[in-house]
């Protein structure tokens, strides 16, 4: 590398071997060549950026914003469906925790009531999202 002080500050990165970013570059190219949904590509990139930056919660923040802005606000079906999948998985975990709590003598009725409330709220949200999908068609 030359000692020219006006040289591109990114020249060292350009000159270096493909390195750490090669994996995400190949994954991105593969996803595009496979005609993956653009939202899925964004999810993968957000996850990569979270891991690369060690900023916990970054990918979830991006996904939540996509669900709200593109899904609920703009009624794009893919983010709405993705949120339904997330909610369904979450409600299944809560239902499993409730079943375990009902068998546990140390579990309070208050805890079980909160879990029941959360289950009902998740089902209402899933129904709302399904109605948005139906209305957008």
pLDDT score, position 137: 79
pLDDT score, position 85: 96
Q: Using an 8 Å Cβ cutoff, are 72 and 133 in contact?
A: no
> For residue 17, what are its two tokens?
């071997």
Directed axis angle between helix 38-53 and helix 77-103, to 10°?
60
pLDDT score, position 11: 73
> For residue 40, what are its two tokens?
């899925």
Counting beta carbons within 10 angstroms of the beta carbon of residue 71, is it exposed (0 to 12), middle (13 to 18) or buried (19 or more)? Answer: buried
Q: Using an 8 Å Cβ cutoff, are 28 and 49 in contact?
A: no
DSSP state of 20: G
Task: Print pLDDT tens along the chain (137 aa).
Answer: 445 556 777 776 666 656 667 888 889 999 999 999 999 999 999 999 999 899 999 999 999 999 999 999 999 999 999 999 999 999 999 999 999 999 999 999 999 999 999 999 999 999 999 999 999 87
The sign of the torsion formed by the CA atoms of 68, 71, 75, 76 equals: positive
CB under 8 Å to 126, separation ≥6 — which residues? 84, 87, 88, 91
């Amino acid at each position: 590398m030359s000692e020219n002080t006006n040289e591109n500050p990114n020249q060292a990165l350009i000159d270096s071997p493909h390195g750490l970013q090669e994996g995400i570059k190949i994954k991105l190219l593969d996803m595009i060549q496979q005609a993956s949904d653009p939202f899925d590509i964004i999810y993968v990139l957000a996850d990569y950026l979270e891991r690369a930056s060690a900023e916990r919660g970054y990918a979830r923040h991006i996904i939540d914003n996509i669900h709200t802005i593109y899904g609920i606000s703009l009624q794009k079906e893919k983010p709405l469906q993705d949120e339904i999948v997330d909610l369904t998985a979450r409600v299944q975990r809560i239902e499993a925790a409730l079943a375990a709590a009902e068998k546990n003598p140390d579990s309070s009725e208050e805890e079980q009531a909160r879990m029941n409330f959360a289950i009902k709220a998740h089902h209402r949200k899933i129904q709302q999202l399904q109605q948005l999908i139906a209305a957008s068609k």
